[in-house]
Amino acid sequence: MINLTDYLDKLSIIKVLSFFLLVILVLTLIPMIFDFHLGSLFFKFILYLVMLLFFIYKFNSISKKNSSSNFNYNSSSNRDSNSVNNSSLSDAFRNDLNSIFKVSKIYHILFIVLANILFVSAIYFVLSYLGSISIIQFNAPLFGDFTGLGFDVTLLYLITVVILSPIIEEFLFRGIFLRRFNLELDNLTLAILISSVLFGICHNFGGILGAILFGICVSILYVKSRNVLVPILAHFINNLISFLLALIGIENFIHGNSIVIALIIILAIISNFVLFRAIVLEWPKSFKE
């Protein structure tokens, strides 16, 4: 049964990265040439929107080739080639969508998201404390505060961070990087760690460790399910909850409330102890094919 991973496997990592970097270069140069400020949020929105259109275009190109030629792909030689050749992009998406809760458990996804949010929050409180006693410089927000922002900016944030970001980042870091690293290095453990670290360093300083841990968890989900919609769903839920917490101004309630902070840190320690144990027990040896 064909799915979106089969389409991702047909993409050239060099072409994807080249196009990605080209878009970044164009979005950086245009404001400099015409002397205007694009803004980091709008920059990310355009970048991810263009990348989404790029992926759709490439997937459609692969789908058209399938209708006129054999769809040969390395990782699934044991499948029925006729069913693959007669499949379309819509079939691949439908297959992933229909099997998303068959190949993964929703409570596993929710626990990973909860543990990650608690982990990031605990790190934030530690860094904030170190910043308050002048050991380090740290003034980044935990979830952000949208109370003073207009509806248009809030909506743009919702579309960019909650909707587009999970799709593009999971296509890149899990669908392409993870599988290519595994293929080139012939070592799944290294592939998971390298792709997760790359994913982590693309985030803000306070959230790097949380992003790396989250990347490892969704990598395991992806390897075991071979369904890219699984990590996309986990990523979407994580970003949606963070967005909603920012929207209600949860940081204003937490700051200065030592009891709540202590409770969050304790819950973070407990949940992540369980999570680390699950990671060790569930660590995959090979991709599900």
What tens digit of pLDDT does each residue of 242-279 get?
Answer: 999 988 888 778 877 889 999 999 999 999 999 999 99
Q: Give the CA count within 13 Å in the CB-facing half-sphere of 285.
A: 1
pLDDT computed for residue 76 by the predictor = 46
Q: What is the mean pLDDT of the chain?
A: 88
CA-to-CA distance for 83 and 259, rounded, in angstroms?
58
Does the pLDDT value for residue 67 go beyond 70? no
Q: From CA 11, how far away is CA 237, in angstroms rounded?
A: 27
Distances (CA, A) of 234 to 11, 28, 68: 24, 31, 36
pLDDT (0 to 100) of residue 288: 65
Helices (H), the chain: 4-9, 13-34, 40-68, 81-85, 89-99, 106-132, 151-157, 165-170, 179-185, 188-201, 208-225, 229-247, 250-254, 258-282
Confidence of residue 73 (pLDDT cuts 50, 70, 90): very low
CA distance 236 to 253: 25
Per residue in 93-147, pLDDT (tens digit) is 999 999 999 888 999 999 999 999 999 999 888 888 888 787 877 777 777 767 7
Q: Read off the pLDDT of residues 29-56 as tens digits, 9 standing for 90 and up.
A: 999 999 888 889 999 999 999 999 999 9
- pTM higher than 0.75 for the full model? yes
The DSSP secondary-structure symbol of 233 reads H
C-alpha to C-alpha distance for 25 and 50, rounded to whole angstroms: 13
Write the single-letter amino acid at 163: I
Residue 75 confidence (pLDDT) above 70: no
> 112: closest CA among 284, 281, 235?
235
How far apart CA 89 and CA 59 sit, in angstroms, is 7
pLDDT number for residue 206:
64
